[in-house]
Structure 1
Amino acid sequence: MAYTVVGKSVRRVDAIAKVTGKAKYTDDFSERNMLVGKILHSPYAHAIVKSIDVSKAKALPGVEAVLTYKDLPDIRYATALPGVIEAIATDDVDVAELKYGTAGHPFSLDESHRDKEDRRILTQKARFVGDNIAAVVATDALIAAKALKLIEVEYELLEPLTSPEAALKEGAPLIHDDSERNILSSNGYEIGNFEEAVKEADRVFEGEYETSIVQHCHMENQVSHAYVDSDRRIVIMSSTQIPHIVRRIVAQSLGISWGRVRVIKPYVGGGFGNKQDVCIEPLNAAMTLAVGGRPVRLELSREEAMIDTRTRHAFKFKIKTGINNDGKMVAIHISAISNTGAYASHGHSIAGSAGGKFRYLYPTKALKYDPITVYTNLPVAGAMRGYGTPQIFFAFESHIEDIAKKLNMDPVELRKKNLVEVGYVDPASKNKIMSCGIRECIEKGKELINWDVKKSLYKEQSGDKRRGLGMACFSYASGTYPVALELAGARIVMNQDGSVQLQLGATEIGQGSDTVFAQMVSEILGIPMYMVHVISTQDTDITPFDTGSYASRQTYVSGMAVEKAALEVKKKVLEVAHKLTDLPAHVLDLRDQYVVMKESGEQVIALEIVAMQSFYDRVNAQPITSDVSNNARINAIPFGVTFAEVEVDIKTGKIKIIEIYNVHDSGKIVNPLLAEGQVHGGVSMGIGYALSEQLLFDEATGKPLNNNLLDYKLPTIMDTPDIGAAFVEKEDPTGPFGVKSLGEPPIVSPAPAIRNAVLDATNVAFNRIPMNPQRVFEKFKETGLI
């Protein structure tokens, strides 16, 4: 179908505000006499607070409050206590253990499906270096920082468990008393019978692979401010991806009703999943309560944010694959150990997501997945772009490359023999593949990188610098169904001139969703983009309910609500036009700010006249609006591939990317330029994941070694090659305008593609990332290449 706006690279609706500095972020807002909050972090990875003396800090002029675990309420007591806000503010609430979960998932009516509740706002037991022990509220940041140094804490040191192996060993101390052997969860699945199916294979291959802890490094650190309004409700303005979920979790953390909390989200300076966790808002709420409801700002420094928010889970995989001589895989067994750090956060959901999204790419007779998620005394791992899939696809796409090499098969052909087909129904999720362009993606990628010619050219190489080609495929999803609720809301109000306000629960965090939604409304209502006014700020008191920005769900899931709302407005416009013209609504359409004849396009009546009639008709006045929710109980599967060419310096271990192409089947591309930007950002993150990024810790103490942007090696513009983005537009019948997801998929396959290119160049397999020069040099020495 030909569209006039959808499919076009229109300018972002927030472009001018952002480039001129008019866009307002959380830190741009202020309240009168705003106080400042600071956090005392534990210097030890595993320790119990034996005593804490805050008297000197409290006596410092300018200090308004000092909080410890003793000052926070027991949820069971607080829930039943009327006027709990006033009680907390005056220290009248008894002290007891209070735990809550921080992961940004929709609430579940099924208790067994809820996130693990293992967190306190402030803790008596430190579980990682950086854990929150106490907090200060003062008139300014300097006084608050000085007060922190005056807090005297006596610790009883416990053994720090800085690896899953250490945490799992017999007799290891428990990080959480209710988690046997420090295991958060070990739920997996088996499709078919692996042990029986693998016996039918001609050959069996095994491999071990490992990924590292990395950080999101979004530009805007976590920041919020909170106060109590005249209605005795806690108001929090926060840089978050999930305002409606923040509201719920803050209320749970304090043991108050959810309606006592209001959350406002302005522009957000990046999140990548880190702001899909409720990291600082509960403490910020407690701070304002401690000072009688006065406003308190809480902002993390970069050093704090890199260890006291969330990281990407490090994984260790063991893979066993049974395969026939013709290259057809018959059985796969994947064992995975996931390091979730000190608290659950998204926890085992990451391992579950990895095993779930992986299933769509290579269906086999039998697939067994045995993941285990382990607590350690390291910073908390949570959601990060790709949600487990960069880890598992690094492992499996490296594994399948190793198999191709041992079978002396073309790695592209080996993959093509095993790829999914349209119509496949996943046995576990029951999601059906309604569209699949993975084969076309592969062919386009091969053409872009000139695969066949360069493969032949690089076949026999010697010398200090060698080149190679690699590729890796992926599958993903468009939302979380059927694992979790996928509810989204949208509201449209038409103005007297025919323009509209579009209000969304879906959060714009830089990815361009506001623009895409405006394009959808513009297309359906036949009005230009400038007449669609998107209200980008989310406010839980006003905004339609939506679970937030995560899981690459917005264009697909929230887009369903936007499409539904726009179609309802269109229907109402045509009904008014029918009353004015006597022409049946079903023969009418909207184009170029006019009601027109659907078949001929002949203009019938101006949209502005219809809008004015809806406002001011003395008999039938009824402004045209829509306010809808959409519960998506379906999922569309995107696919794609990365092709990479690298040059490896044998003497130094440095890997240089010569060319890289990221090709996607994401259904209809609503805005090609925005889509290309998503690809560039995701591939850049994937390059860092492959070659340089890793949070480092002292193994003996758990202390972070590089939680700053000097020592943590993010790729700079000098390290980033030209990135090629391409699309195969296989429109999916389930999505609005045929869309599928694109936000997270670009991060998934670059790392294994780069790894496989290094293998092609050097004949050395790197099964652990990052492949930084030190690690590459040492591996070359180990294998005798140097």
Structure 2
Amino acid sequence: YSMGQNTWIGPERPCGVWRWNGEFAEVWVKQQRPHICKRAISMWFDGLTMNKIDLHCLYQGASFGGWSQMAWNLGGTYCAAVVSRRTGRPVKWLFSRREDFYGGEMDAGTFYFKVGAKLDGTITAVEQRGVVANQSMLVFGIAKHLMDNMKIPHVRGITEGVWVNKGPNVPTRCEQNLNSYAVNLVTNQVAEALGLDPVEVALKNDGAEGHDIEWLNERKAELGFPTRDSLRECVEKGKAAIGWDEKRHAAGAKRLPNGRMHGLAFTWTHEWDDSAGTSEVAMYVERNDGTVTILGCRADGGQNAETSYAQVAADELGVPVEQVRFKHQEDAGFYTMTPDTSTNLSVNAWAVRHSARLLKQKLLEAAVAPRGVTQLASFPPAFPGKRADELDIKDGVIFEKADPSNRMTVADFVGPSGAQGPLMSPIGEPILAGKEGLDYPIRFTPPMFEDAYQIQRGTYLGVRLRFCRQAHFMEVEVDPETGEVDITKIVTVNDVGKVINWDGCEGQAYGGAIMGAGRGHTEEVVHDPRTGIMLNGNLLNYKIPTLMDVGDIETIMVETGMGYGPYGSIGIGEDVATVVPALLAPAIHNALGVWIEGFPATPDRVLKALGSA
């Protein structure tokens, strides 16, 4: 099969602003890796020191890799810096829409499979060869998911790269496309060839590194994970939602009353894991009201990740989530793991949890320690005669476990800032006068600040078994006369280990389903075959689907607790958009009884498969 080129465009085009404040540089970047931006900028202009660079990383919705992956992605920023220095004015740079179409996704190419299987559906060997175009990072393989998720004893994959007169192809909306397509097409082709249910073929071959599911279950137990069958749980929920047992039929066997042919399909792979990365965050309690601020400069790509981090901090600290803010737009000297790899939660949430636990301990220890200690005297503790382990925090209130009536809000504990500095509010400022039975409204609470970090070795640096799975189902109607395909329903099922933010998880799955449908159905950069000139570098002729172009989407979450992230969580970003595109092939085959040979599944490719083009 072949895959056309998907571009890396997002609704917001690459842009940035540079302003010189004397010898200091103030820079606004639309970039997934602000820490790399700052490092690169520091090497310009005879070595601009890092402490003279003020970086702002604003909201940049729908940033999915692409431009950020290119070595020269700071070209516009450098040009703006030079022009700003020469003119003495702030300078903004901005791509045109056509410029944003320059490169594409790294799955563009042609692929060949040879598969061996037993009559019962047990797959014994897979040989795969891929010829990919303009791939800048030829390191992710094409058959890796067959090894990660299946008990196939013999797997061989070869990737060959060629360069043509088009833009570079890099990870855009994920780099695991080819691996996911392999699991999909091998599972479904084997099932069709042997007259089997593809769900049963998947379950029969589930495993890892050539070993079966029993072996994998032993590894789960060794690592302290629950021993649950993630794939089976996912497929059972998905089958019920799509009506698999009731609607499934032989290929080309069901014509609908409207004259179209009905198709149903299934695919699966592992849930995205912890990947690899590092993260650092800081956290402090604000004076005056006791709210909490998290510091960690990062790109907000619109996935609602910041709310998830605030939830982790609130739960660990014992404060309402509404009182926690993740302040990511400004450079405070701490940088989180970047949004790429779409497993941020599995890295960043560890750092947030570490920091929150340290900060809570500091609060409790400060609550039982003398305050305002000097060489001459000190003030009594907020909780005299108590130990830190005798206190706890809940709903923003510090209290004694044995006597919850002995309590003080975090806001009262840290106290207000006053005329004599941030640590005290003396007599004459009646903000807290008379509260808590105190004679003097003085707190002298030291700064409540902590930082922490996480180093994640991840799966890129070695084998870390995946235990969580995902399964997706699609229902289509195909017009055999015109080749038109209507996607009437998609059901996505993801075992995310533990859901921390339901809106975030469901949003990733829902948006991923639409994005995946577009990549497999309508999206393709078209070039003139003779000149190589791009013919559709705009959003009118490059067909990104809207909500009107895809039917019902149902998102289902499974929580097995078998992820490597905090609380047993695991990543979900990118994976639905990566796994769903090739699902069009078995869906169309189930409708018409023929296999399309390439994506996107446009009407001309469908008619060609039917021999009608």
- TM-score (ref. length: structure 1): 0.66
Distance 1:710 1:422 in 2: 51
User: Which residue number corresponds to residue 282 of structure 2?
Assistant: 491
Aligned counterpart for 2:265 among listed residues 465, 470, 473: 470
Distance 2:550 2:46 in 1: 48
Partner of 1:607: 410
1:314 aligns with 2:108: yes
- The match for 1:593 is 396
Equivalent residue, structure 1, for 2:433: none
- The verdict on how the C-alpha distance between 1:327 and 1:311 changes in structure 2, with shifts beyond 3 A counting, is closer
- What is the 5 A alignment of 1:560-709? 560-579=350-369, 580-581=382-383, 582-597=385-400, 604-612=407-415, 615-616=423-424, 621-634=445-458, 637=466, 638-709=468-539
Between the aligned partners of 1:719 and 1:414, the Cα distance in structure 2 is 31
Which aligned pairs between 1:211-230 and structure 2 lie closer than 5 A?
211-230=3-22
* Alpha-carbon separation, structure 2, partners of 1:305 and 1:596: 56
Is 1:329 matched with 2:123?
A: yes
2: distance between equivalents of 1:230 and 1:779?
A: 65
Q: Does 1:265 align with 2:57?
A: yes
Shift of 1:752: 2.7
Q: Secondary structure at the match of 2:536?
A: coil
Please tell me whether residue 403 in structure 1 is matched to residue 197 in structure 2: no
Secondary structure of 1:501's match? strand
Counting only pairs closer than 5 Å after superposition, residues 421-440 of structure 1 correspond to structure 2 as 421=213, 424=216, 437-440=230-233
Could you give the per-residue CA deviations for residues 451-494 of structure 1, whole angstroms, max 9, x where no partner exists? Answer: 0111159873358411021000022433433xxxx110111110
Does residue 281 (structure 1) correspond to residue 74 (structure 2)? The answer is yes
Q: Secondary structure at the match of 2:358?
A: helix
What are the residue-to-residue correspondences of 1:389-400 with 2, within 5 Å? Answer: 389-400=176-187
Does the 8 A contact of 2:15 with 2:76 survive in 1? no
Structure 1 alignment gaps of length 5 or more: 1-208
Q: Which residue of 1 aligns with 2:235?
A: 442
Q: Name the stretch that deviates more: 332-341 or 447-456.
A: 332-341
Aligned position for 1:304? 99
Residues 357, 476 of structure 1: 8 Å contact kept: no
The answer to whether the 8 A contact 2:399-2:406 is kept is yes
Of the three residues 158, 169, 172, the one matched with 1:370 is 158
Q: Deviations over 1:19-47 (max 9, x none)?
A: xxxxxxxxxxxxxxxxxxxxxxxxxxxxx
Correspondence for 2:377: none
CA–CA distance in structure 2, aligned partners of residues 583 and 689 of structure 1: 61
Structure 1: which amino acid aligns with 2:181? F
Q: For residue 121 of structure 2, give the secondary structure of its aligned residue in structure 1.
A: coil
Q: Relative to 1, partners in 2 of residues 1:261 and 1:319: Cα closer, same or farther, differing over 3 Å?
A: farther
Q: Find the aligned partners of 1:228 and 1:749 in 2 and give their Cα distance.
A: 45
Task: Tell me what 2:373 maps to.
Answer: none
Residue number in structure 2 paired with 1:415: 202
Q: Residue 453 in 1 paired to residue 228 in 2?
A: no
1:598 Cα shift?
5.3
1:238-285 Cα deviation digits (max 9, x unpaired): 211111122234556888467375532111132111253355533431
With over 3 angstroms needed to count, the CA separation of the structure-2 counterparts of 1:261 and 1:426, relative to structure 1, is farther
Q: How many angstroms apart in 2 are the aligned matches of 1:455 and 1:376?
A: 42
Q: Report deviation, 1:773.
A: 1.2
Find the aligned partners of 2:44 and 2:581 in 1 and give their Cα distance: 38
Aligned residues: 558
8 Å CA contact retained: 2:273, 2:564: no
Alignment of 1:134-283 (within 5 A): 209-231=1-23, 233-250=24-41, 256=47, 259=50, 262-277=54-69, 279-283=72-76
Q: 1:234 to 1:620 in 2, by over 3 A?
A: closer
Q: What secondary structure sits across from 1:217 in the alignment? A: coil
SS at match of 1:417: helix
Q: Which amino acid aligns with 1:490?
A: V
Which moves more between the two structures, 644-653 or 280-289?
Answer: 280-289
- Counterpart-to-counterpart distance in 2, 1:424 and 1:396: 18
Shift of 1:407: 1.1
User: Percent identity at matched positions?
Assistant: 24
Report the Cα distance in structure 1 between the residues aligned to 2:272 and 2:233, rounded to whole angstroms.
19
- The farther-off stretch of 252-261 and 400-409 is 252-261
What is the identity, as a one-letter code, of the residue corresponding to 1:644?
M
- AA at the equivalent of 1:390: N
Deviation at 1:315, TM superposition (A): 2.9
| Partner amino acid, structure 2, of 1:305 | D
Which residue pairs with 2:602 in the alignment? 772
CA distance in 2 between counterparts of 1:240 and 1:480 reads 20
Q: Secondary structure at the match of 1:276?
A: helix
What code does the residue aligned with 1:228 have?
W
For residues 338 and 380 of structure 1, what CA distance do their matches in structure 2 show?
A: 11
CA distance 1:689–1:764, change in 2 (3 Å): same
Distance 1:691 1:619, change over 3 A: closer
User: Cα 1:236–1:611, aligned 2, differ >3 Å: closer, same or farther?
Assistant: same
Task: Supply the distance in 2 between the matched residues of 1:271 and 1:422 (Cα, whole angstroms).
Answer: 40
Deviation at 1:561, TM superposition (A): 0.7
CA contact under 8 A between 1:505 and 1:547: conserved in structure 2?
no
Range 417-426 or range 725-734, more displaced: 417-426
- Partner amino acid, structure 2, of 1:402: Q
Matched, 1:762 2:592: yes
The alpha-carbon distance between structure 1 residues 568 and 675, as it changes in their structure 2 partners (threshold 3 A), is same
SS of 1:706's equivalent in the other structure is: coil
Output the CA distance in 2 between the equivalents of 1:422 and 1:707: 50
Q: Provide the secondary structure at the position in 2 that maps to 1:718.
A: helix
1:732, distance to aligned residue in structure 2 (A): 3.2
AA of the residue aligned to 1:317 = F
CA 1:520–1:362 in structure 2 vs 1: closer, same or farther (change >3 Å)?
same
Bigger drift between 729-738 and 398-407 goes to 729-738
Partner in structure 2 of residue 130 of structure 1: none
More displaced stretch, 621-630 vs 720-729: 621-630
Partner of 1:100: none
Report the CA distance shift for 1:634/1:392 in structure 2 as closer, same or farther (over 3 A). closer
**Offset at residue 610 of structure 1 (A):** 2.8
> Residue 296 of structure 1 aligns to which amino acid in structure 2?
V
Once the two structures are superposed, residues 400-447 of structure 1 have per-residue CA deviations (whole angstroms, 9 ceiling, x without a partner) of 2111111111111111001124874999xxx99987622211111001
Which consecutive unaligned segments of at least 5 residues does structure 2 have? 208-212, 370-381, 417-421, 425-440
Kindly report the root-mean-square deviation, in angstroms, between the aligned alpha carbons of the 2 structures. Answer: 3.0
Q: TM-score, normalised by structure 2?
A: 0.84
CA drift of 1:737 comes to: 2.6
Contact 1:506–1:554 at 8 Å: present in 2 too? no
Residues 276 and 426 of structure 1, relative CA distance in 2, 3 Å threshold: farther
- 1:634: how far off? 4.1
